[in-house]
Chains A and B, each alone.
Chain A
Amino acid sequence: MTFVLSFLLRRLSQGLVIVLLVGFVIFSLLRIVPGDPVRIIVGPMATEKQVEEIANELGLNDPLPIQFGRYLSEITEGDFGNSFIKAKGGNAASGGKENAGVERAAVLDLIKNAIPLSAILAGLGTAFALMFSIPLGIAAGLRPNGLISKLTFALSSIFVSLPNIWLAILLILIVSTQLGWLPAIGYKGLSYAILPAIVLAVELSAVIVRALASSVTTTMQENFVQAGVVRGLTLQHMISRHVIRNASIPILNLFGAQLGGLLLGSLFIVEYIFNYPGLGLLTVNAVFQRDFPVIQGVAILTTAALVIINIMVDLISAGIDRRLQY
Chain B
Amino acid sequence: MLKAAWKRPQFRIGLIIIVSLLVLAIILPLISSTSATTLSIRERFAPPIFMDGGNLKHLFGTDQLGRDLLLRSLIGLQNAVFIGLVSVIGMFFLGAIIGMYAGYKGGWIDTILMRITDAQMSIPVIILAITILGVSRPTAFSVIVVLILAGWPTYARVIRSVTLTESKKEFVRAAKIIGASDQRIILSHIAPNILPPVAFIAVLDVARMMIFEAIFGFIGIGIQPPIPTFGNILADGTKYLINAWWITVIPGLFLFTALISLNLIGSTLESARNEALEGREQ
Chain A interface residues (CB < 8 Å from chain B):
14, 17-18, 21-22, 25-26, 29-30, 33-35, 153, 157-158, 160-166, 169-170, 172-173, 177, 257, 261, 264-265, 268-269, 272-273, 283-284, 287-288, 290, 295, 298-299, 302-303, 306-307, 310
Contact = CB atoms under 8 A, between A and B. Distances in A.
Contacts of A29: 131-132, 135
Given A157-B260, A165-B214, A166-B234, A287 B135 contact: yes
A265 B256 CA distance: 20
B131 A18 contact: no
Contacts of A298: 127
Interface centre among A18, A163, A173, A268 (most CB of B within 10 A): A163
Contact of B231 (A161, A165, A295, A302): A165
Interface string B239-267: 00110010011001001100110111001
Contact of B118 (A18, A160, A265, A299): A18
Interface stretch (B95-103, B172-180, B181-189, B215-223): B215-223
Contacts of A18: 115, 118-119, 122
10 contacts: A26-B123, A158-B260, A164-B215, A166-B255, A169-B248, A173-B248, A261-B121, A269-B219, A288-B134, A295-B131
Given A261-B125, A303-B122, A165 B215 contact: yes
Interface in B37-94: none
Given A29-B132, A161-B207, 7 more contacts: A157-B263, A160-B204, A161-B262, A169-B237, A295-B131, A302-B127, A303-B127
Contacts of B199: none
B124 A264 contact: yes
A258 to B, nearest CB: 9
B211 interface: yes
Contacts of B267: 153, 157
B211 A163 contact: yes
Interface of A is mostly: helix
Contact of B248 (A22, A34, A166): A166
B42 to A, nearest CB: 27
A299 B131 contact: yes
B45 to A, nearest CB: 16
Contact of B219 (A21, A162, A284): A284
Interface string B116-144: 00110111111100111011100000000
A64 to B, nearest CB: 15
Nearest to B268: A157
B238 interface: yes
B230 interface: yes
B259 A287 contact: no
Nearest to A210: B267
Contacts of B119: 17-18, 21-22
